[in-house]
Structure 1
Amino acid sequence: MPAGIRAVTRLLLDLDARPGVRGLGDLAVRAFRAAPPVTAANAGALAELAGVAGWILFEEERQAEAHAHNLAALALARDDDARTPTLLNMAMQQTHVGRFRAALDLVARGESTTRSTRVRAMFALRRARVHSRTRRQAEALRAVDRAWAALDDDDRAPPWAWWIDETEVRAHRAAVLANLGRLAEAAGTFPADDDLRFREVVRAMRFRTLSALGRWDGPPPVFTSPRAARTAFGRAGRVTAREPTGHDPAPTRAAPTERGGPDAATPGTCPQPVDSL
């Protein structure tokens, strides 16, 4: 039974890495709802499925549903290592919706339990994003430096941590610089584009930064991920990626601020404070 659940989770992850995939959130919700009842044998597999669904729903700007699936993942997880990826996702989501204290609490919780230096690097990047949104420049850059230093070989890194690499750290550093208003540095820091769907938001941050500098040539790009589209164009709500029309609002050219930078989002879209966990 756990093997079947994990096969569904792997399918969702595979689809999440493919460019151009749409409507994956509905599939993730249906998969979790259709899963078998919880038992001692399958709770861990169900936690993984719920956590992946939470991430996908976050990408699709379905924040209340994402939060609910994340809570389910934490409740189902049987140990701290199993909770770690969900804590990372929740910290990113709380930063995205402007709940910075909750995000830092989640980071501290994750840092206190993980034994992996590579995972600690990811928590440091979550901390850096919070500090950049609140314009605490020194703290933000120190956190990024800690992440770089933690990317050495790590025999305690869990299998799912494969994506925590130099490309990921460069993307976060660029986002931090953009949030701090250091746009030219950010533009030169963003990594080259790749085709991974979950990194589409990096391309959106790069587009918004270059647009703010007046250095974007050509038509605006089209994004599949609603979070990427929102990051790029500043649109609120559930964004449906589509070809831009003459009636679409132009990308902002203002310097990023706490509400207008690449991380910007409307706060208060989670159903309850994460501090209550």
Structure 2
Amino acid sequence: MGQPDESPRERREPMSRIGLASVDDGPPAGAEFAASLREAVARFVRLDSLLGSGAVVDAVVRCFRDAQRVLASGRYRTELERDLRAAAAELGEVAGWMLIDARRHDDARLINSAALRLARLAGDTSMQWFILSNQALASTNSGRPREALRISEHFGEDSRVPTRVRALFRLRKARALGELGDETAALHAFDHARATFGDGVSGRDPAWAWWFNERELDGHAGSLHASLGRHGAALPLLNSAVELASEAVSQRWALHVHRACLLDSALAAGDVAEAERAATAVVPTLGRRSSVRTEHLLHRAVVREAGPSSTLSDVLEHIRRRLPPR
């Protein structure tokens, strides 16, 4: 997902204006309905980049449920069935990802399952990979790392899966092993993921894999080290992720979560200077995007010891006051 320059008009646009072409009356759903599904995907991805998942997640879930209702009713032109299912599956992927960012993991599991079924019926293998890679990360973050490990090992070692997608599943494997506390295996799996990533993008990699880049890799590497309690090792990797996100306009949406991770690890590592820099950078972004995942990281960070720095204590207290209640 990219973040274009935001405009006041887009920040004010009501969610009620984003929906699907109506098929309750008139002829069965056709090309116009399929187009409205694709347009909804693009629109929600853009709004997520600008405003965060919290601002749009309920709206995208409603749109996905509307698409499911149309498909279940059979009120569509049969020659468009595959395209409608594929478009609905993509909308479900977006909804599932936003639910993961909102830390609504049970809801995400239900949506991912429904979207995966639609992708399978449509024969859209690349969308199946996308949804399953998302679910693997969600499973790791919601106390099901062994489930994430099964998914990741299956696709990460399948030679039929294209290079960049295999690298992503190998990264998911490393994160699952980290959550299981197996430091040696997790770091080895991550090295394997980075080596596969270094093989580049193959001609078979899907278009959606564009966002899995060096920034994403360094961000997850830092988070992996942090999950293993290796906060000092996490800092240069998280700094790299922040720098890479800052340099590319299309990646600035990722700044919020990387900065939150960096602040949390700097405090855990007792690096006061790094924590002061990270905390100061976080302040201007507060309230600009609604991401429960990022807010969760910040809540965890602000209760850590600030050390002898009164400046850091003051900034952390300011962040604490600005955060939404848990």
Would the TM-score normalized by the shorter structure come out above 0.5? yes
- Residue in 1 aligned with 2:215? 167
Q: Which runs of 5+ in 1 are unaligned?
A: 236-241, 250-277
* 1:34 maps to 2:90: no
Say yes or no: does 1:211 pair with 2:267: yes
Paired residue for 2:205?
157
State whether residues 100 and 108 of structure 2, in contact with CA within 8 Å, keep that contact through their aligned partners in structure 1.
Answer: yes
Paired position in structure 2 for 1:116? 162
SS at match of 1:135: coil
CA distance in structure 1 between the aligned counterparts of 2:162 and 2:150, rounded to whole angstroms: 19
User: Cα 1:19–1:29, aligned 2, differ >3 Å: closer, same or farther?
Assistant: closer
Secondary structure at the aligned position of 2:290 is classed as coil
1:94 pairs with one of 114, 132, 139: 139
Distance 1:132 1:21, change over 3 A: closer
Provide the alpha-carbon RMSD of the alignment. Answer: 2.6
Alpha carbons of structure 1 residues 114 and 62: separation in structure 2 relative to 1, 3 Å: farther
The residue that corresponds to 1:51 in the other structure is: 93
Supply the AA of the counterpart residue of 2:141.
H
> Where does residue 258 of structure 1 map in the other structure?
none
Residue type of the partner of 2:70? P
- Other-structure match for 2:24: none
**Paired letter, 1:74:** L
Distance change >3 Å, CA 232–CA 28, structure 1 → 2: same
**Larger proportion of helix:** 2
State the aligned residue count: 243
- The Cα of 1:247 is off from its aligned counterpart by 10
Q: State the distance in 2 between where 1:142 and 1:48 align.
A: 33
Q: Distance in 2 between matches of 1:91 and 1:206?
A: 23
Q: Residues 5-27 of structure 1, C-alpha deviation per residue, up to 9 Å, x if partnerless?
A: 11111111112222566421111
Instruction: Specify the code of the residue in structure 2 equivalent to 1:226.
Output: V
Is the 1:110–1:123 contact (alpha carbons within 8 Å) kept by the matching residues of 2? Answer: yes
Partner of 1:63: 105
Secondary structure class of the residue paired with 1:48: helix
Instruction: Tell me whether 1:244 sits opposite 2:320 in the alignment.
Output: yes
The answer as to 2:117 corresponding to 1:75 is yes
When normalised by structure 1's length, the TM-score is: 0.79
Q: 1:106 aligns with which of 151, 157, 161?
A: 151
Is structure 2 residue 228 aligned with structure 1 residue 180? yes
How far, CA to CA, are the matches of 1:248 and 1:16 in structure 2? 18
Offset at residue 41 of structure 1 (A) = 3.4
Q: Secondary structure at the match of 2:70?
A: coil
- Following the alignment from structure 1 to structure 2, what is the Cα–Cα distance between the partners of residues 31 and 179? 35
Which ranges in structure 2 are unaligned for 5 or more consecutive residues? Answer: 1-32, 72-80, 246-250, 302-317
- 1:266 matched residue in structure 2: none
* Correspondence 1:234 to 2:300: yes
Please tell me whether the aligned partners of residues 118 and 161 of structure 1 are also in contact (alpha carbons under 8 angstroms): yes
Greater alpha carbon shift after TM alignment, 163-172 vs 175-184:
175-184
Alpha-carbon distance in 2 for matches of 1:17, 1:114? 32
The answer to whether structure 1 residue 11 and structure 2 residue 43 are counterparts is yes
Between the aligned partners of 1:59 and 1:20, the Cα distance in structure 2 is 9
Aligned partners of 2:137 and 2:172 also within 8 Å: yes
Residues 198/29 of structure 1: CA separation in 2 closer, same or farther (3 Å cut): farther
| Larger RCO (CA under 8 A, 6+ residues apart) | 1
How far does the alpha carbon of each residue in 1:66-121 deviate from its partner, in whole angstroms, 9 at most, with x for none? 11110111110133322010001100000001111111122134333752110111
3-state SS of 1:61 partner: coil
